[in-house]
């Protein structure tokens, strides 16, 4: 039986590698999205300064398509009291890859990734701006829960979403 010659989209997560720097330096997000997140290169610089920040690349067929940071207790404690949680921050998908289901797939892969690489963590949390309705919907559809915790951030009220591992 012959298979279609169409390449299937493969989404995966991996720790940032310096060989990906050029692609991440040329990462584009529209201004309205930059209100709520950081460009990967800026986030990587912070990761280089803090030991419990881990830069993660979302790969589409082994090419960088998105980015986020997993931040340990130093990040979590700003929002929540669970020392065994890990914070998802600076999440984005490059504008060229948006609308293809990459965000949804990467968020579904994240719990397995965290359990494998951070086995002492029992929860993923994230802070999403109250104005960022699109992101809220994606997170909720991917299994994150809004337990009603609110925190004031630099750019307004933040909703703290949770996912048990």
30-65 pLDDT, tens per residue? 999 999 999 999 999 999 999 999 999 999 999 999
Give domain status of residue 60, yes or no: yes
Domain holding 95, by residue range, is 11-164
pLDDT of residue 7: 57
Whole-number pLDDT of residue 5: 45
Residue 2 lies in a domain: no
Q: What is the CATH number of the domain that holds 90?
A: 3.40.630.30
∠ CA 28-33-34, rounded to 5°: 70
Does the residue 18 lie in any domain? yes
Give how far Cα 119 sits from Cα of 50, 61, 68, 71, 165, Å: 20, 27, 19, 14, 10
pLDDT at 163: 98
Cβ-based neighbour number of residue 111 at 10 Å: 17
In a domain, 139, yes or no: yes
The pLDDT score that the predictor gives to residue 8 is 73
Intervals of the chain under pLDDT 70:
1-7
- Is residue 4 domain-resident? no
Q: How many domains does the chain have?
A: 1
Q: Which residues pair with 71 in a beta bridge?
A: 53, 87
Cα(145)–Cα(11) distance, integer angstroms: 24
Please name the helix (run of DSSP H) or strand (run of DSSP E) that holds residue 153, with its range, or none: strand 145-153
Report DSSP state, residue 100.
Answer: S
69 in any annotated domain? yes
Give one DSSP letter per residue of 3-69, joined into a string: PPSPPPP-EEEEE--GGGHHHHHT----HHHHTTS--HHHHHHHHHH-TTEEEEEEEETTEEEEEEE
Question: pTM for this structure?
Answer: 0.93
């Amino acid at each position: 039986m012959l298979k279609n010659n169409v390449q299937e989209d493969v989404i995966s997560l991996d720790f940032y590698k310096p060989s990906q720097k050029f692609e991440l330096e040329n990462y584009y997000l529209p201004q309205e999205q930059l209100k709520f997140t950081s460009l990967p290169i800026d986030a990587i610089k912070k990761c280089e300064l803090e030991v419990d920040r881990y830069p993660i690349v979302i790969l589409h067929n082994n090419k960088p398509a998105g980015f986020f940071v997993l931040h340990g207790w130093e990040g979590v404690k700003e929002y929540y009291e669970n020392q065994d949680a890990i914070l998802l921050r600076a999440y984005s998908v490059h504008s060229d890859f948006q609308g293809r289901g990459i965000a949804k797939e990467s968020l579904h892969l994240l719990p397995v990734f965290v359990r494998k690489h951070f086995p002492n963590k029992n929860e993923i949390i994230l802070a999403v701006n109250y104005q960022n309705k699109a992101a809220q919907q994606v997170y909720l559809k991917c299994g994150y829960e809004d337990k009603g915790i609110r925190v004031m951030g630099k750019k307004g009220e933040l909703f703290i979403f949770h996912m048990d591992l």
